[in-house]
Structure formats: structure tokens, C-alpha cells
Structure 1
Amino acid sequence: MAENTAAPGTPVPLAQDEDTARGFAFALVAYLLWGFLPFYMKAVAHIPAVEVVAHRVLWSVPIAAVVLLLLGRTNDIRVALRTPRTMLMGMLTASIITFNWGLYVWSIGAGRTVEAALGYYINPLFSVFLAAVLLKEKLDGLQKTAIALAVAAVALLAWESGGLPWVSLGLAGSWGFYAYFKKSLPVGPNQGFFLEVLILTVPALGYIAYVQTTGTGHFGGTGITDVLLLLGCGVVTAVPLMIYANGAKLLRLSTIGIMQYIAPTLIFIIAVFVFKEPFGLSKLAAFVLIWMALATYTVSLLRSHRARRAAALAAAG
């Protein structure tokens, strides 16, 4: 895979050459939190997705700010705010992640969690495709086979439903482009996340003020449960992301590549066995193709890692 991915991911910071128990624990906790996120999104399904996203943005700001204060990295933000190119790139990535969040929230509430899981399964393969097209990176035979299997899965779903699985493609595509452009943001993952939610704060506050003044908002007036759920949106958004960002720095790229399947697998299990969403033979066949594609891609990832490790040992010896 040409680019690391997280899940309902997150662009992956550069990983090290050896795994650590601390890094594995951080990444596992983050992926489990992302995997069980559909339960939270289902709890806010009665609230419009745009309002939920606005609160995700607003209440992520103080959490991200506290983390940067503790890390002593606030100066990075001051520099970014004075750099037009960084701000423009931040606006671009903030716009893309807003779309991704909105589509994800909507899909859970609309009973299309299976499609969301498929989107995050497709994501690493889409990233490989993006690297080949935009970065002109050369794909090996296994990677080409993996992409072909993924395309076959999408074609099968399109044939079965009479249209493209746009939820899955929208999630995979938006996350893939977000990760691609995020690499051009010259700040660390924690700083980049804070910059994005800071940029989004003004439109988020404006929207929340609008729905509250028109009486259609859910923050107050509809019961304490909705208030607590919307406040918690910041926690479920920022905490897994920042736990993951710190864990990924302590893991090998190949380990991250395999662990990233934890979240969509949990989402898939929840969709089928807890939410009881329809899952016929055509969808089963499509998922089998995707799982085959991911297995093929994982073999390629492991081979590539072993080859680089052998080359490094040969050079050192």
C-alpha cells in the first residue's frame, strides 16, 4: 500500500521499524473505539447529520487544545495561522473530512452501516490506486490483483442494486483524498486535527446558532440526553484520533496496515448481527471479494516490508 490509513480512519504518521507494546495498545484502543462508534451514531440518529457534525467539530476543539497544551506544541498552530499555504491546505482537508463525517453519520442513521463498513474496507485499496494514479507509484502484481477484486466487488453491488454503492465509494474516496492531501499539511497529526476543527468552528457555530434560534436544534429544550450526546461528540471524535496518532508512531507500517481492518470488521459485525441490516447473497459475495482483495494486499504489504528489512540488513552488514 502506498499510503497508510487508519480508519474511520485517520492519516497515519510515519511509523518506526519495530513494534512496541505501548504502540500496539494505543492503536488497538483507537481501532476498537472506532469499531464501536456506530452505537454512538445510532444513538444520535434522530438528530440531523449536519447538526451532529457541527457538534463533533465544536466540542473537539477544547479537547484538541488541551492535548496540544500538554504536549507543548501550541507554537506550531501559531506558525500555521500565519502561513497562507498551510491555512489553505487546512481548509481543503477540513472540507473533505467534514463531508466524510457527514456521510458516515448519515449512513448509520439511515440503516446503511453495512455500506459504511464496505467503504472502510475499500479505503486502503483506493489509497493504493490513488498512489498509482497521482504519485505514479508502481504497483506489484498482488496489488493490481487486489484492486481488480475490489472493482469486481463494486461492479457486483452496482449490478445487484441497479446503481453504484455511493455510500461506500463516498466514504472510501473522501477518506483517501483526505489522507492524500493531509500529507501536504506541514504540521503533526495532533496539530493538524486541531487546525482543521479550529477552521471549521466558525461555520459550525453559525449552524448551531441558526438551528437553536429557529427552534429546530437539539442542544437544550429537547432533554438532557441530547445535550449530553452532542457534548460527547467531541470525545468520540477527538480521543480515538489522538490515541491512534500517538500509537502509530510506535508501530511498523505493516502492523498498522493489518490492524486497520479491526474497525470495519467490528462495524460489519454490528451492522449485520446487532442492527439486523439486510445482507443477501449478493452483498455476501461482494464482501468475500473484498476480503480476498484485502488478504492479497496484506500479503503484498508483508512481502514489501520483509524486502525492505532484508535490504537494510544487507546494507548495514
Structure 2
Amino acid sequence: MTDKSETPPPNGLPFALAAYLIWGFVPVYFKLLGHVPPAEIVAQRILWSIPLLLVIMYFRTQLGEYAAIFRHRAHLRNLIASAILIALNWLIFIWAVSTDHILAASLGYYLTPLVNVLLGRMFLGERLLPMQLVAVAVAALGVAILIGDALDTFWVSVSLACSFGIYGLIRKITPVGSVPGLAVETTLLAPLSLVAVIWFATNGTGGFGDDGATTGLLILSGAVTAIPLLLFATAARRMSYASLGFVQFLSPTIGFLLGVFVYNEPLSSTKLACFILIWIGIAIFCIDALRTYRAGKA
């Protein structure tokens, strides 16, 4: 009879790969909605996420946790801030995709892990290891080069990296589950989203109801929001955070390849140099994380 302690832990890698593959190919989805105003897409995404998240929480017996958050002032205050940040992140990302700036969005999500390191140092008192400092310095050099050539889209990359980085920081210090937390965030954003949807419909500039394909895609945007998050939450419970950190670069890499080879976005020598320096910084970051992880296991 096999001892329980010898049973291998469940493998979270398939769930992580599925989550980041969906996030990687999501520009293709939003490209299909390029004729819809980005603000309406975000509003529809928020509204259609709520019923799906409620169903997920029902089967995961998390409805009680969801309701309890509204009675906890500190948690609710934090989630109001995180809700604003994630809505801003979604809006900038969808605008970038619809205006052929997928490369700028990809760069933003490459920078996010390095921004997280700096935020951890500034707000959580986490020690910046020497190799992490080198990684951040190399990435900063890449960003400095980009400023001289692509200032018109530079704000996209920085805004995405900072908004998602600060969002992650707030969620890290707020002890709520990923799914209930997102459900509270979307619930808080629902009134404004409903007003936006009604405004677009009244003015005849919205896409909902125009044709079956557009309406169906807008409805499914709720699933595009909730399903990868659920996969990510499952992966996070089943694998180390260090291992999960390596997989996260899959998403911006897919975005980079889509931007260059599918949507033919221009890749200047300056942009390429910036990406190469970012990739070098990420490689240093990953090698150091892997070394630290192995040392910890030993």
C-alpha cells in the first residue's frame, strides 16, 4: 500500500499553460471586435463576467466569501482601487490591440514581472538581490532606448506594466480569493459599465445588437475574462510561484509573434533592440529565480 506522503502533488502546469495561452491569443479575439469602441468592450466584459463568476463561486462554495468582502471595509477599499486599475488596464490593452499596437502591449507585459520586483522592494520591504538589480537595470536600458524612438506608444507599455503591477500588489496584500476578488471588482464596476452600455446603445455607436457575431463575441468576453483566471488560480495552488513565473512570459511572447508575423506591425531596429534588452533582463531574472528556488528546495 502506497504511503500518502509519497503521493505526488497534482500537476498545475497544464492549467498554467492553458491560462497563459488564452491570454496570449486574446488579441486575436479583440481584433474581431475592432469596430466596437474599446470602452464598450470593457463595459460588456465586466457585465458578462459577473453571472459566470457567480456560477463558478457557487460550485466552489465561495459565495459566502464573496458576500463577506462587502462587509469588510479595508478589503472593500482595496478592491475599489484594484477594480479601477484592472479596468484601466483592460481599456488600454483593448485600445492598443484595436489600434495596431500589440507590440507595445506585449512590451508592457514583459516589463510587468520586473515592475513587480521594484514594487516589492518599495512597498513590501523585499530585498532586491544583486542579479535582480542587474535584470532591472538591463530592462531599464531597453526602455530608455525605446523612449527615443517610440514615444507615441511608450505610454502604452508603461501604463500596462504599472497598472497591472500595482493591481497585483494590492491583491497580494488583500487576503481574498482570486475568483471572489474579481467578482467583487466587477460588481463594483457594474453600475458604471451599465451606464456606458446604455449610453453607447442610445447614441448608436455601440456594437451590441448590431449583428449576431458581434453580440456573441461581446457576451463571450465574460468567459474570456473568467476562465483563464480560474485556470491560473488552479495552477497557483498546484505549483510553486517560481515555476509559475517562468510560464507567465508565454503570453507576451505570443503577443509579440502575433504583432510581427500575423498583423505585420512595424518592428524598427530601436524597438528590436529594446525587446532584446528586455529579453536579456528576463533571462537574468529567470536564471536567478531558478537558482534561488533550487537552493531553497535543497
Find the counterpart in structure 1 of residue 271 from structure 2.
Answer: 283
Distance 1:164 1:45 in 2: 18
Long gaps (5+) in structure 1:
1-17, 311-317
Partner of 1:206: 195
In structure 2, what is the Cα distance between the partners aligned to 1:162 and 1:32?
Answer: 29
1:70 counterpart = 2:67: no
Matched, 1:306 2:294: yes
Q: Distance in 1 between matches of 2:161 and 2:151?
A: 20
The answer to whether the 8 Å contact 1:118/1:264 transfers is yes
Q: Partner of 1:51: helix, strand, or coil? A: helix
Alignment correspondent of 2:285: 297
* Residue 124 (str. 1) matches residue 126 (str. 2): no
Q: Give structure 2 stretches of 5+ with no counterpart.
A: 1-6
| 2:159 alignment partner, one of 165, 170, 182 | 170
User: Partner residue of 2:89?
Assistant: 100
Is 1:185–2:174 an aligned residue pair? yes
User: What is the CA RMSD across the aligned residues, in angstroms?
Assistant: 1.5
- Runs (4 or more) in structure 1 with deviation over 6 Å come to none
Deviation at 1:48, TM superposition (A): 0.9
Q: Residue 118 and residue 200 in structure 1: after superposition, are their counterparts in 2 closer, same or farther (change >3 A)?
A: same
Shift of 1:144: 0.5
Q: Give 2:200's aligned amino acid.
A: V
1:264 to 231, 235, 252: 252
TM-score by length of 2: 0.95
Could you report, residue by residue, the CA deviation over 1:143-167 in whole angstroms, capped at 9, with x for unpaired residues?
0110001110110000123567111
The equivalent position to 1:160 in structure 2, one of 135, 145, 149, is 149
Aligned to 1:230: 218
CA distance in 2, matches of 1:61, 1:247: 22
- Count, aligned residues: 292
Using a 3 Å threshold, how does the CA distance of structure 1 residues 250 and 285 change in structure 2: closer, same or farther? same
Contact 1:58 1:234 in 2 (8 A): yes
| CA-CA distance at 1:22 after TM superposition | 3.6
Contact 2:47 / 2:222 at 8 angstroms: preserved in 1?
yes
Shift of 1:291: 0.5
Contact 2:35 2:207 in 1 (8 A): no
Q: Distance in 2 between matches of 1:131 and 1:164?
A: 26
Alignment TM-score, normalising by the size of structure 1: 0.89
Amino acid of the structure 2 residue aligned with 1:130: L
Q: Residues 185 and 192 of structure 1 are in contact (CA less than 8 Å); yes or no, is this contact kept in structure 2?
A: no
